[in-house]
Every structure is written in structure tokens, then in C-alpha cells.
Amino acid sequence: MMSIGKRKYFSITDAVSSSSPKKKRFLQLTPFNVKQSMIPANLCYLSQIPIEMRDLILLKLSPYELHQLASTSNEYFSIVLNFLRSSMGTRYIQFVLQITPDRRRSGAWENLGRLYGLMTSLLPLVRRIQMIKEVLFNKLNLSDDGSCMEDLSRIGRFFGEATRHWSEREIAWAFSQLDSHLQLQKKIDRFYSCEHVGVETQLEQSIRSCFRLVYFDSIRLYAHRGCLLNVILYKQPIWFQARLIYLLFGPMSLNKIDWEKFSRDRSDFLIYPNVDEEQAYFDLSRAFNVLNRSAHAQKAWNSNSKLALLNELIAQPVSWKSEYVAELLFYCGRELLTNVLIAFAMKNYHKEYAQLIQSLCVVARQRKAYYEIIQMAVEDSFERCTIIAQRNSIIIHLQNAFRCVTRNVIAVLASSTITPADQLHYLQQLEALDAQKAALISFLLTNQINQNN
């Protein structure tokens, strides 16, 4: 057997002397040198065939393959772009959506949005927005009044990928152009004119669904989210901004805003929040976090304005419980937490200062990272109390706050119906509260962080 890598040879029979044995001759391979000048550099084979055949070929390609083809040369790019804008392009979009199940995991709308985003990246902004509107509202005939939840989800998935590489200025302009079909700003103005919350529950649900599905949840970049949130909050009264944020990100019950969710008394304030409550904290904190990451929003939102928004949020229409405020502040981050403590210290709200620290220690639940956040926030704010008497007043209020919590835990332990497992749990919580109080008061007096707690 001939091994791979050796020269191949053929057995050739000489016709003149058939009686002579066969001679083995090596096969001579003549190389064919192709000159570069023979093949044009800008040759486009698709342009040489009829347009009908060319459209049928492009119809068989996936969105990713279509974009790869368009990236080959300028001529291919023009061919693909004209194909997408033609009636055959409408058929292509419908074909892609039909063969791929209409589920979020399939990514059909995301792939099409990514294709249009890349294909229109070199076009002027007005042209890009015009093509997106043509695809969504003309070719696909999606609901242009924002009334259909399924259509809103499709628009958001397409819009999120198509505008992924846009700037914040372009995102803000796209909102103004796309909103001419969805009428979100018009609905917000109508909601602003309502005297009370819950008067038009259908309108409130429509605002929440339109913003979350189209402009927020499908957008990947935090900067773009913050930009779009700032667009609808800009130049609105502070009380309305808080109400609108609660409408967009707060908990809903039976398609109504659950204003009283954070004013209820917990049966056990030492346990973790439930899943729905924790999700509400996370959603509300996103409103503050995205404003920190958007250059467009930072121009209108400084530390004082965000603090005023938080104070208005937790006071509308009923005041939140202290432990609920502490839970939200942990989700919003150290900056907002520090600003709240600084405001209390500068305004001599000693009792509120101590109660908030006590609530922060309770909801921290022995997590060292949370205690470090509290201690750094206290360090930044406690120095604002320049008078020693004010510091001593805060320490006294803090001791009284922890004493009240300890008294409640002891009352639970004294109950005759408590189980041995719960008794052990509350004893551990009692020990943890005592350690937290000692560590924090020691820190206030010495400005030293106890690393053991």
C-alpha cells in the first residue's frame, strides 16, 4: 500500500511493444500560474445575474450570512441593502419569522434587529430611523398605537438590537421619532393630568408595558436605559417623577399600583423579604442605578436631585417603614445611602439618623459586605456633625433603637408557642444584634472598623 505523502505514479502500457513489461513513469504536474491582473479586484458575481435569481439566492441566507455577505465589498453592501428595502425583503423578513418559533429564546427578532442595525450603521440618523419605522409599522404591520402586548415585545427586541451601537443623543432622537407611533409621551401627559393614582388603571398599565417592553427591558446598555428614563422624567415636577417611577418599576396588584406594599408591618422583621418584595426592590433601584451610568442623565440628575427623588418616592402617598427604606438603599448603592445619612446629619435629624442605621443593621442580616457599606457611609456622614453633643445624641438614639429591637426579640422568645428551632434562630439574632450595636457604637467613638464583625 502506498503511504500518504509519497509521490504518486501511474502504470502506463506501451502500445508499440505490448510484450515488453510495464514501465512506471512519474506523473508530471504542471502548475498553473494565475496572474493577479486577470481577476478584477472589484468583481461582484451577484451583479452579473438577473435580479430575480439574485433575490432567490439572498432569500435562502440567514440574517447572519446576509450581513457577512454585505461586509464583503461596497457593491455587495448596496445589493443587500436594496434587497432588504424591496418587496422581496419584506418576504424575507416574514420568512425568517415563520421558520423560527416566535419565542424569546429563538432570537428571530433580535437577529433581524442586529442585521438592520449593522446594515444601517453608515447611514445618516434620519435614514436609520426611517428604515426601522418602515420595517416595524409598514412591512410587518405591527400595532402602531402600543395596545398589543405581543407587538410591543417584538418592537422592543428589534429596537434593542438595532440601536445597540448608537450614541445616547441618537437614542434620545429615536425615542422622539418612534414615539409618534407608540404615543407614550402623550399617555404620560394624560397620566400627569389625573388627580389621583388608580383612576385610569388601563392607561397606567399601558404606560408601564410600553416603556418596559420597548424602551427599557430590551435595551442592554445601562447608559441607553438611563437616557430613555431621563427623557420621560425631564422637566416634570418632583412629585410626578416619583409617582411615574413607582408606576414603571414598583409592585403591581391586580393591574394597580400597590402603594401600601412598603407601609405594611412585617410579622417578622428579621427574616428575608419574599421573592415579590425583593424583585420590587431590585426594579426600583434600577431607576437610580441607570441614572448614574448615563452621561445624558447625569447632566440633569446630581446627588441632591436623586436624594430629593428618593425622599419623594418613599413618602408618596404614604410613608414607607424604616426597614423597607433600608432594604431599598442597599440595592441603590453606597452613594445614595451616604447622601441620606449626610442629609440627616446636616439637618440635625438625630432620631431619624439613628433609626435608619438601626434598620440598616437589621436588614444586613450578618452580611459582612453590608456592614462595611454601613460603616463607610457612617464615616462619611458622622463627620458632618461637628458638635460633640450632636454625636452623643445620635449614639443615645442608636442605643435606644437597638434596645427596642432587642425587647421585641425577647418578647418572641418568651412566647409559649415558639419551637426549639425558632428559639435557636432568635437567640442567634439576639446575639448578632448585640454584636452589631457594640461594633457600630465603638466605630462611632473611635472611627475604627472592627474587622471581626
Tell me the mean pLDDT in the region 165-173.
88
pLDDT at 385: 64
- Cβ contact 320:262 at 8 Å: yes
CB atoms within 10 A of CB 440: 23
- DSSP-assigned letter for residue 387: S
Query: Distance between CA 385 and CA 391 in Å, rounded?
Result: 6
Tell me the mean pLDDT in the region 58-63.
80
Bridge partners of residue 11, in order along the sequence: 24
Query: Distance between CA 360 and CA 312 in Å, rounded?
Result: 20
- Cβ contact 280:215 at 8 Å: no
For every residue of 30-58, DSSP letters joined together read ---PPPGGGS-TT--GGGGS-HHHHHHHH
- DSSP-assigned letter for residue 215: I
pLDDT at 101: 55
pLDDT at 322: 83
- pLDDT-derived band of residue 11, with 50, 70 and 90 as boundaries? very low
Q: Is the peptide bond before 273 cis (omega within 30 degrees of 0)?
A: no
- Cβ contact 305:241 at 8 Å: no
Q: Decide if pLDDT at 219 tops 60.
A: yes
Q: Decide if pLDDT at 388 tops 80.
A: no
User: To the nearest whole percent, how much of the chain has pLDDT over 90?
Assistant: 2
Q: What residue type is assigned to position 161 of the chain?
A: E
Highest mean pLDDT among 220-224, 341-345, 372-376: 220-224
Q: Decide if pLDDT at 269 tops 60.
A: no
Q: Decide if pLDDT at 249 tops 80.
A: yes
Q: Decide if pLDDT at 43 tops 70.
A: no
pLDDT at 211: 92
Q: What residue type is assigned to position 316 of the chain?
A: Q
Tell me the mean pLDDT in the region 4-31.
47
Residue 26 C-alpha cell reads as 512519474
Query: What's the pLDDT tens digit per position in 144-162?
Result: 666 678 888 888 888 888 8
Q: Decide if pLDDT at 181 tops 60.
A: yes
CB atoms within 10 A of CB 34: 8
Q: Decide if pLDDT at 1 tops 50.
A: no
- pLDDT-derived band of residue 440, with 50, 70 and 90 as boundaries? low
Instruction: Work out the burial of residue 378: count CB atoms within 10 Å of its CB; fewer than 13 is exposed, 13-18 middle, 19 or more buried.
Output: buried
pLDDT at 443: 63
pLDDT at 229: 92
Query: What's the pLDDT tens digit per position in 304-340?
Result: 888 889 988 988 788 888 888 888 998 888 888 888 8
pLDDT at 402: 72
Q: Decide if pLDDT at 9 tops 50.
A: no
Angle between helices 168-182 and 184-192 (to 10 degrees): 80
Query: Distance between CA 364 and CA 270 in Å, rounded?
Result: 10
Query: Distance between CA 354 and CA 374 in Å, rounded?
Result: 12
Lowest-confidence region among 12-16, 22-26, 68-72, 107-111: 12-16
Distances (CA, A) of 56 to 42, 65, 88: 23, 14, 9
- Cβ contact 199:193 at 8 Å: no
